């Protein structure tokens, strides 16, 4: 994420709005959108959303130079486009689109506009290929993905307001507190766990917030709070079941011990309390270790995916320069 990327989304948000009374999307300035409509006219809300989506993709990947810029800067454009698209689709009341895969099939896979060639890029020859790099995200529930929208917009607002020469960071600090609150809510959402694809979006938001903090630190503003590393909700869920089994087992042992020798009951009970205490600590340690391992593996996977896009970009630059020679 950077200021340039966020300015494009801000333009769309400003000039493409949803009117709740009429239940229709409206282009406030259609000059840059209508070229992505059939005969320069979008009849339905879905057509308008698709046109705005194409506008964004063209702004980010319309040429090899743009593609190289965003790839080399490791910017997860497609993930943010998917968050934006999910939110736009869930706002509609009359025209139902049940899933991202439905939109993909009707408009991207079977539509010609998303197959516009990107000259000079070898691996991603068109917008469809760009989206296919993150196709696994299309299987997610749109209602869950749209929960990320407000956090994304708040973080983008911070980037849009950034000025390295400023001395008053009050607005950014207020937005940062809002973002942290939204992030914590997402982090504690039971449907967003470390082994779910939604965690990839959460990781991207976390990374871009940390990058913003670094920019601000260089500009002599170090008052931004850190984000929580990961949610403990999954650890709690993983530990409750084993602990329940332990309590059942201990209860059985205590019952047998009481029948065998009532005089030794207190000693046995004391030993079992100690046993339970250390078993709890052991299970929590195991759960946290597993959780951290999952996080490392996922971060490695996301890094490899981005490096693949960067490699494609560099290859395109190489072949373009070779042709120029």
Percent of the chain with pLDDT over 90: 41
Instruction: Give me the DSSP letters along 178-195.
Output: HHHHHHHHHHT-TT--TT
**What mean pLDDT is predicted for residues 161-182?**
86
| Assessment of whether the complete model's pTM goes beyond 0.75 | no
| pLDDT beyond 60 at 74 | yes
Say what the pLDDT of residue 44 is: 92
Q: Do 316 and 122 form a contact (C-beta atoms < 8 A)?
A: yes
In angstroms, how far is the first alpha carbon of the chain from the final one?
Answer: 34
Q: Per mean pLDDT, which of 74-78, 186-190, 235-239, 284-288 is the most reliable? A: 186-190
Say what the pLDDT of residue 239 is: 46
**What mean pLDDT is predicted for residues 16-31?**
88
Residue of higher predicted confidence among 156 and 320: 156
The alpha-helical segments, DSSP class H, found in 40-169 are 45-61, 64-72, 77-91, 100-103, 127-132, 142-145, 149-161
């Amino acid at each position: 994420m950077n200021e340039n990327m966020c300015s494009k989304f801000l333009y769309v948000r400003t000039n493409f709005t949803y009117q709740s009374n009429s239940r229709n999307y409206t282009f406030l300035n259609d000059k840059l959108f209508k070229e992505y409509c059939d005969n320069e006219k979008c009849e339905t809300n879905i057509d308008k959303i698709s046109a705005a989506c194409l506008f964004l993709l063209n702004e980010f990947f319309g040429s090899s130079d743009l593609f190289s810029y965003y790839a080399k800067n490791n910017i997860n454009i497609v993930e943010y486009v998917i968050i934006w698209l999910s939110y736009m689709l869930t706002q509609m009341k009359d025209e139902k689109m049940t899933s991202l895969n439905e939109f993909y099939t009707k408009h991207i896979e079977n539509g010609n506009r998303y197959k516009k060639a990107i000259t000079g890029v070898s691996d991603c020859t068109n917008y469809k290929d760009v989206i296919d790099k993150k196709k696994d995200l299309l299987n997610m529930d749109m209602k869950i993905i749209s929960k990320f929208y407000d956090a994304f917009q708040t973080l983008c607002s911070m980037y849009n307001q950034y000025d390295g020469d400023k001395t008053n960071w009050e607005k950014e600090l207020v937005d940062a507190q809002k973002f942290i609150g939204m992030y914590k809510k997402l982090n504690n959402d039971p449907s967003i766990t470390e082994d779910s694809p939604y965690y990839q979006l959460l990781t991207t938001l976390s990374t871009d917030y940390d990058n913003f903090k670094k920019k601000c630190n260089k500009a002599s503003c170090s008052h931004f709070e850190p984000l929580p590393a990961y949610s403990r909700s999954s650890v709690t869920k993983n530990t409750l079941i084993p602990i329940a089994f332990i309590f059942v087992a201990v209860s059985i042992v205590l019952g047998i011990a009481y029948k065998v020798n009532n005089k030794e009951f207190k000693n046995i009970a004391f030993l079992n309390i100690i046993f339970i205490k250390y078993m709890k600590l052991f299970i929590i340690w195991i759960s946290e270790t597993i959780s951290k391992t999952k996080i490392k593996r996922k971060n490695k996977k996301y890094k490899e995916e981005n490096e693949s896009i960067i490699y494609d970009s560099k290859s395109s630059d190489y072949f373009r320069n070779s042709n120029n020679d």
